[in-house]
Structure 1
Amino acid sequence: MGNIYLDHGATTPMHPAVIAAMVAEMENNFGNPSSVHAFGRAGKKSLMTARTLIAGSLNAEAEEIIFNSGGTEGDNTALIETALAQQKFGKHIITTSIEHPAVIEPLHYLESLGFEVTYLPVDEKGQITVQQVADNLREDTILVSIMAANNETGNILPISEIGELLVEHQAIFHTDAVQAYGAFDIDVKKQHIDLLSVSAHKFSGPKGVGFLYKNKSVRLPALLKGGQQEEKRRAGTENLPAIVGMAEAVKILTPLEKKNRKHRYQELATKILVELKDAGIDFSLNGDPQHKLPHVLNLYLKGIHRDVLLMRLDLAGVAVSSGSACTAGTIEPSHVLEAMYGHDAPQVDESIRISLGYENTEDEIDQFLEILIAEVQRLKK
């Protein structure tokens, strides 16, 4: 039996078409897009083609897409530069207690500079309400940052309703869409989103590249200073092969492809839940089953410590996780599950995340379930 990869929430394998597009770009188009000669113009053409394609996927304009190194840079730019630029109008920021570290850490930095951050609590399903945002809005609120979907539970948060709420308010609305982009449709104009962060490696693109959508009406100084790239919005020579690869990954995600993947993930996820129940495994689902990404399952396996189970699954050739890959290798518990259940709740130490990908087969899921059920039963004894 080969290894089984079920940790697509951490990163995804690159699609073969993405690899082919990147190789072709590296072989045939090495010019710097900022150069004025023919080689540079060819590079700029590739850059603009990718920018236009990606903008179209969000109902944005090409000039509103800023290429960067991924979600962390996008979040840092959106939060830090917006706060510093808007501080004359106030220093209050609203976010949630379940954001990715790429959002939480920049906000902690801003707190050290004198900004005030309200962290909205979540209920036991890991959800917030629009009313919570409304209740905490103030005249001096300058920024609201709410993730589109949680990376650990898969919960989809009410960003459309929050965007609508903020239309008449001065606060700029940012959403970390790293886990959500490609899983469901996002329309930045209809949803009134001002800033949106995306990372290519979450949807079969290359690592180290992503983009920040910035509504053209938003004033946002560059986080990185230097050259004139990205219309002076992000200094540094663009990683053209990676950007082309990211655009190819976006091109693959047609409406039909997204629909088919969603249906497939729902089938496989249902199979996992049904077979665990039939095997008598004592478990429950963490998160909101009515509002969640179809490819993410966060399971509380009662009485089974996550670290021991993850080690045994890894030895058996199965890759799952206990939460965000950005906190992997540490002994820190999931801040998302702590926010949902409390610091001392058993769910914090006895939950694993299974995240599916387009290449996973039913046979793989059958093999995974056989291994998982056997290991849980063994550990129970």
Structure 2
Amino acid sequence: MEIYLDANATTPVLPQARAAALAAMSDDFGNPSSIHSTGLKARALMDAVRARAQRLLGTGGGQLLFTSGATEGIQTAVLSALRALRERRDAGESIGSLLLYGATEHKAVPEALKHWNELLGLNLEVRAIPVGLDGRHDLAWLSLQAPRAGLVCTMAANNETGVISDLDGIEQALSGSRAFWMVDGVQGLGKLDLRLAARRIDYAPFSGHKLYAPKGIGLLYVREGAPVTPLLAGGGQEGALRSGTENMSGIAALGAVLAALEDGQTFREPATLARWRDRLAETLLAAFPGLVFNAPLAVSLPTTLNFAVPGLSSKLLLDLFDAADVRVSGGSACSAAKALPSFVLQAMGVPEWQAASAVRLSFGPAVTEPLIDEACARIRACGEALRESCLTGTVAQEGTPLTPITRYVVDGACCWLLADPASRTAVVIDPLPELNERLERLLRCQDYRLLAVLDTHSHGDHASSAEGLRAALPDRLLHGEVDALGWPMDTEQLVLGEQTLRRLPVPGHTADSTAYLLGKGSQVRVAFVGDTVMPGALGRTDFPVSEPLALRDSLRRLADALQPGTLLAPGHDYENRFATTLSTEAAHQPLLAGALNGSLDALGLASAKAEFERGLGLTEYQTMACGARVCSGPEAAPELDARGLRLLLRTHPEALLVDVREPYEQRLSLLPDLGAVQLQAVPLSVLIEHLPEWLALPAETPVVFFCRSGNRSEQAARALRRLGHDEAYTLAGGLALWPQCEPGLEAALYV
């Protein structure tokens, strides 16, 4: 059963609302502008819904217009207010110089202000009203600015944090100002007593789909006497204020929801909702040590929790919850796909890690106690899955065994953890500050000792955290004095079980660039090459610490030390290629090919690179680029939908299916009878461990990767294809779009 806890994004449609919408489509389907009996029935239904909404919202003599949703309502309100301001200015009146909006408003508000301000030629200053750490508006600031404002936009309750605005305080701050006031009422509908006519609110937009009505229906309140400029002109519906044939099925459904608000049975009382929210909060705190709430519960909606867990990204938590069939979000659904820190939390001034790692849990007032009980049980299971993976907690435990090579990535920079389960020893290569806490917890949890913390070179784009990691694990270090890159002074090689790690100087990118070769004897399994060779690029050599004339010989020395097919583990991987080989890179990089085949000497390579790297800009992460990238192979892997996968499995029973989700996700998924299907669980973070075995498969053997949404599996398939196995595929849409009930497919994947 899916546990849906993302009601602030949208809600399921209430059963009685669905029934009302269907009845409006099949029975009361008339056009309310028609004057025959069928049309009059539709008109009566629409008028009844409007009257009920007016009663519930306390609109008094104000108007309620049916709209397509809150965005249209916001646009209409802003257009109406700004056009009135222009008319005042044209008449010689003072209108002030500011358009104000709350710093935590939904992006629809400031974007509408900027849009209509420009189109109407007002050219007023659009400025954000500051908020405090509690998410509430700075009323003292607003009082000072209000006399200069033409329009003030705030919200009843915030969609990300649930913080309830002090509307009475805002009204007091606007005392004496002629500014129009718009209140975004979307999250307040059905949860707050807004008393619209009792306040000086001029406009208030609402959206039905936030409270169990379908998408595409909303309301706009306009205070009696407030100016209205139609956003849509045409047939003159809604008193000529919003043209277009009314959405009767949506209106009927919204009416059913409003009726449910009045019946006293369908929706829970605020006290009950607050009690259930507190249970969820207590469960979260127990499941995730160190969890912090990003907004004070005392001034928040009783249906919303916004939290962050130290050391855990919001994406990790979203994947974890989704694997447990618990739907939560990273903030506003409108901006979640951009994976940026929450601007709402940034405006509140919370620490940056909280803004970047925030998760929102929200439920609607029609929630049931059994659903809350089940949600708490699954949250506890999520916490246990993370503890099993040593991602939370500090008590030493066995946990999920470490894989010999694990990759971590932060903004394209790679950190590698080498581990030998038999001897419980590990090496960290190119540590990153953002990962120190996680690595420390992991090594303590698994009871590993640390052979070394190494850098492949002196970094220019970030500070090495090697010293910090060593300092955090003094009781785990097996060697004392180390050189500038972290190599122990008392040994020439590091022993990791049956394998050894040795150094190979490769100056060029920097004077101290070093590759670390992992293998048995002279057979190198993986070479950790830092930025000397990256997927699609050679390390840039235009730094003051670079040795461009040494690079050509370093590349040839590296080639001599490796076997054909030896994997290169880079220090940066901007396109998620995971690993590469010299032959793969030589096929895509003419300069590397020239250095290896002798057609370029040291000066020729240095000169060509200098020209190629001229004016090199920042990466997509706004970090220093460590190499100029060239076209590096296929940009997309073939996708298979459910039907395509079924056909492939019939024609290729030897096909291999690979689940690239992380262990904590796989732990929360059910494994059905897979029959004869070959399935591997290979988290994306340890992909490099399995690339050689997949590359050794017969060329015609399909390898199909899958994950939750198709993003990670696409990366894995693309990486394998680039290395030479053309029969690599990704499951389109991942498990999120998997048709679990389609006959004959249950044995193919986890469900």
Same fold (TM over 0.5): yes
Shorter-normalised TM-score: what interval? Answer: over 0.9
- What is the aligned counterpart of 2:362 among 352, 355, 359? 355
Structure 1 residue 249, shift from structure 2 partner: 0.5
CA deviation digits over 1:125-163, x for unaligned, max 9?
212133221111124x22111111000000001112323
User: Counterpart of 1:313 in structure 2: which amino acid?
Assistant: F
Shift in alpha-carbon separation, 1:230–1:324, aligned structure 2, 3 A: same
User: Counterpart of 2:135 in structure 1: which amino acid?
Assistant: G
Partner residue in 2 for 1:52: 51
Partner residue in 2 for 1:150: 158
Partner residue in 2 for 1:287: 295
CA distance in 2, matches of 1:362, 1:290: 20
Shift in alpha-carbon separation, 1:278–1:313, aligned structure 2, 3 A: closer
User: Counterpart of 2:54 in structure 1: which amino acid?
Assistant: A
Structure 2 residues not aligned, in runs of 5+: 393-441, 443-751
- 5 Å matches for 1:208-227? 208-227=216-235
Partner residue in 2 for 1:71: 70
- 5 Å matches for 1:243-322? 243-254=251-262, 256=264, 260-279=268-287, 281-322=289-330
Does the 8 Å contact 2:287/2:384 carry over to 1? no
Of structures 1 and 2, the one with the larger relative CO (CA 8 A, separation 6+) is 1
User: Counterpart of 1:4 in structure 2: which amino acid?
Assistant: I
CA distance in 2, matches of 1:352, 1:257: 31
Runs of 4 or more off by more than 6 Å in structure 1?
none
- 5 Å matches for 1:70-109? 70-87=69-86, 88=89, 89-90=94-95, 91-109=97-115
CA distance in 1, matches of 2:317, 2:245: 44
Does the 8 Å contact 2:230/2:241 carry over to 1? yes
Q: Which deviates more, 84-93 or 352-361?
A: 84-93
CA distance in 2, matches of 1:257, 1:119: 40
1:129 aligns with 2:128: no
Structure 1 residue 341, shift from structure 2 partner: 2.4
CA distance in 2, matches of 1:291, 1:60: 25
CA deviation digits over 1:292-315, x for unaligned, max 9?
100000012111100122122212
Shift in alpha-carbon separation, 1:106–1:275, aligned structure 2, 3 A: same
User: Counterpart of 1:347 in structure 2: which amino acid?
Assistant: Q
Structure 1 residue 169, shift from structure 2 partner: 2.4
CA distance in 2, matches of 1:276, 1:43: 48
Partner residue in 1 for 2:240: 232
Partner residue in 1 for 2:657: none
Shift in alpha-carbon separation, 1:29–1:280, aligned structure 2, 3 A: closer
Structure 1 residue 260, shift from structure 2 partner: 3.1
Partner residue in 2 for 1:36: 35
CA RMSD of aligned residues (A): 2.0
Does the 8 Å contact 2:100/2:127 carry over to 1? yes
Structure 1 residue 107, shift from structure 2 partner: 1.8
CA distance in 2, matches of 1:30, 1:273: 45
Shift in alpha-carbon separation, 1:146–1:255, aligned structure 2, 3 A: farther
User: Counterpart of 1:348 in structure 2: which amino acid?
Assistant: A
Does the 8 Å contact 1:184/1:258 carry over to 2? no
Partner residue in 1 for 2:340: 332
Q: Which deviates more, 121-130 or 222-231?
A: 121-130
CA deviation digits over 1:324-365, x for unaligned, max 9?
1111322222110111226x7100122100002323423322
CA distance in 1, matches of 2:170, 2:263: 25
Structure 1 residue 323, shift from structure 2 partner: 0.4
Does the 8 Å contact 2:147/2:177 carry over to 1? no
Shift in alpha-carbon separation, 1:289–1:362, aligned structure 2, 3 A: closer
Structure 1 residue 71, shift from structure 2 partner: 0.6
Structure 1 residue 266, shift from structure 2 partner: 1.5
Structure 2 residue matching 1:35: 3-state secondary structure: coil
CA distance in 2, matches of 1:257, 1:95: 37
Structure 2 residue matching 1:201: 3-state secondary structure: helix
Structure 1 residue 289, shift from structure 2 partner: 2.2
- 5 Å matches for 1:163-202? 163-166=171-174, 168-202=176-210
CA distance in 1, matches of 2:243, 2:113: 23
CA distance in 2, matches of 1:118, 1:255: 42
Q: Which deviates more, 165-174 or 195-204?
A: 165-174
Shift in alpha-carbon separation, 1:338–1:94, aligned structure 2, 3 A: same
Structure 1 residue 219, shift from structure 2 partner: 1.0
CA distance in 1, matches of 2:16, 2:40: 24
Does the 8 Å contact 1:70/1:200 carry over to 2? yes
Does the 8 Å contact 2:147/2:178 carry over to 1? no
Does the 8 Å contact 1:96/1:120 carry over to 2? yes
CA distance in 2, matches of 1:327, 1:280: 25
**What's the TM-score once normalised by structure 2's chain length?**
0.48
Structure 1 residues not aligned, in runs of 5+: none
CA deviation digits over 1:186-212, x for unaligned, max 9?
101222211101001111111110010
Rg (Cα) greater in structure: 2
Does the 8 Å contact 2:67/2:217 carry over to 1? yes
Aligned pairs, number: 378
User: Counterpart of 2:42 in structure 1: which amino acid?
Assistant: G
Structure 1 residue matching 2:100: 3-state secondary structure: strand
